[in-house]
Amino acid sequence: METIYQLDKMTETIAKRAIKKGYSLKNQAAPEALFVRSSTVPNELITPELAVIARSGTGTNTIDLARCTQNGTVVFNSPGVNANAVKELVLSNLFLSVRPLFKAIQTVADLQEELTSGQIEAEEVLKVAEERRKEVIGEELAGKTIGILGLGEIGERVAKACHQLGMEVLGYARTKKAAHDYEQVSDLQMLLTESDFVVVLLPLSQETKGMLNRQTIQQMKKNAVLMNFGRGEIVEEAAVLEALAKNQLKQYITDFPSAGLIGQPKVLCYPHIGGSTTNALEKGDHVVFDRMHAYLRAGTIQESVNFPHAELPFLAPYRLALFYHDKPGAFAPLLRIISEAGVDIDNLASERKAGVAYTLIDLDETNETLLQDLQQQIQQETAIIRARLIKNSRTNE
């Protein structure tokens, strides 16, 4: 029975499914699998026993991918499953940026005290409220320009929705897109200069870290709204606070709070809720659990962050799953060890990715002791990072 360590809790439906399939959900040392959402994965959990990390969500900046690869730990994520949730959060904040809804709600709530004190009668509430609505006059999104940094699935959805709202949409990405609902620009300065709203939807990388800094923020329209739903480090905090203090920006909205941002005027912070809907959480958990399960029980790899893709029908009694450095002559010694053990190969599949290779070898052999010894011999080869022996349970899961 494999153990799944939950750094973040799975949704109840997926947790029950994991238990039904024979997994133990215990946060104990040296687990075979680890489930995580946005928490940072401690390096001490990346042990020789850890075969897989399932990240329910997109970003993997909280996982030491290089260490995982060196350890032979496959990492799965679920890109795209929270796209609609983030899109709707972006749209919600666009509306909040042009319509002072919170102030309007408070304006009506304040009438309670006047009702209680007798300053106004019950039948006067609507009339008095309407008299005060001039204090909460807003604007419309139609006709305004939004600049979207990052045209992945979330960016594409935001672009389409904003286009349907009558907004002018500019999109910025490193690769050319088949744009339909926006104009793609390669000049970041042009996007910043022309946009009333700038929405950051980029992943964090060396290229995007600090992209919105003092120099680039100064290129933005006066009274523009900057929204960061990508990663906190993409926007330089000191630069944005300086721009707000000088009235160069109207507002900063971010899903990545910090001590320096909390309580600041013109700053609206959320507790990283971009993909936090029941729909998105369960969908993400479902995707990564299925990939984790397929890897642990059959060695199958579908859309891993750091391992090559590899699928092979599991029809033999046992399977070797070999992850090794892709260098000339690395595979031949592995075949020789299998041949010298007198074990027949029933089928195999092999793929490469970024200097590493992953091979599934189905073995026509039922002597588990012999195969365990074979696995240990292969694990001693210098090119091998991880060698797993998987027994075909032949269950109809």
pLDDT in tens, the chain (397 residues): 899 999 999 999 999 999 999 999 999 999 999 999 989 999 999 999 999 999 998 889 899 999 999 999 999 999 889 999 999 999 999 999 999 999 999 999 999 999 999 999 999 999 999 999 999 999 999 999 999 999 999 999 999 999 999 999 999 988 888 777 899 999 999 999 999 999 999 988 999 999 999 999 999 999 999 999 999 999 999 999 999 999 999 999 999 999 999 999 999 999 999 988 999 999 999 999 999 999 999 999 999 999 999 999 999 999 999 999 999 999 999 999 999 999 999 999 999 998 999 999 999 999 999 999 999 999 999 999 999 999 998 743 4
Q: Please indicate, yes or no, whether residues 27 and 105 belong to a single structural domain of this protein.
A: no
Amino acid (1-letter code) at residue 358: Y
Three-state DSSP class for residue 14: helix
Whether residue 397 is contained in a domain is answered as no
pLDDT of residue 334: 95
Instruction: Please name the residues in contact with 205: beta carbons below 8 A apart, sequence gap of 6 or more.
Output: none
Q: Please indicate, yes or no, whether residues 118 and 172 belong to a single structural domain of this protein.
A: no
The β-bridge relationship of strands 145-149 and 197-200 is parallel
Buried b (16+ CB within 10 A) or exposed e, 151-166: bbbbbbbbbebbeebe
Whether residue 360 is contained in a domain is answered as yes
We report the CATH number of the domain holding residue 24 as 3.40.50.720
pLDDT of residue 52: 98
pLDDT of residue 61: 87
Q: Please indicate, yes or no, whether residues 89 and 197 belong to a single structural domain of this protein.
A: yes
Contact 197, 249 (CB under 8 A): no
Q: Please indicate, yes or no, whether residues 93 and 215 belong to a single structural domain of this protein.
A: yes
pLDDT of residue 395: 45
Whether residue 114 is contained in a domain is answered as yes
| Secondary structure of 152-201 in HEC code, one letter for each residue | CHHHHHHHHHHHHCCCEEEEECCCCCCCCCCEEECCHHHHHHHCCEEEEC
- Distance, CA of 46 to CA of 389 (rounded, Å): 20
Q: Please indicate, yes or no, whether residues 223 and 183 belong to a single structural domain of this protein.
A: yes
**In Å, how far are 202, 237, 378 from 232, measured between CA atoms?**
10, 8, 44
Task: Provide the residue range defining the domain that includes 323.
Answer: 312-387
Q: Please indicate, yes or no, whether residues 172 and 254 belong to a single structural domain of this protein.
A: yes
Tokens 């998987």 found at: 390
Whether residue 177 is contained in a domain is answered as yes
pLDDT of residue 174: 81
- Distance, CA of 295 to CA of 74 (rounded, Å): 9
Whether residue 188 is contained in a domain is answered as yes
Phi/psi at 21 (5° precision) = -85, 5
- Distance, CA of 103 to CA of 94 (rounded, Å): 16
Structure tokens, 182:
């926006």
Helix (H) or strand (E) holding 387: strand 384-391
Q: How many domains does the chain have?
A: 4
Whether residue 392 is contained in a domain is answered as no
**In Å, how far are 68, 330, 331, 396 from 356, measured between CA atoms?**
13, 11, 12, 32
Q: Please indicate, yes or no, whether residues 245 and 162 belong to a single structural domain of this protein.
A: yes
Q: Please indicate, yes or no, whether residues 63 and 113 belong to a single structural domain of this protein.
A: no
Whether residue 13 is contained in a domain is answered as yes
Phi/psi at 360 (5° precision) = -105, 125
- Distance, CA of 189 to CA of 180 (rounded, Å): 22
Q: What is the dihedral of CA 280, 281, 283, 285, to 10 degrees?
A: 160
Three-state DSSP class for residue 321: strand
Whether residue 208 is contained in a domain is answered as yes
pLDDT of residue 185: 92
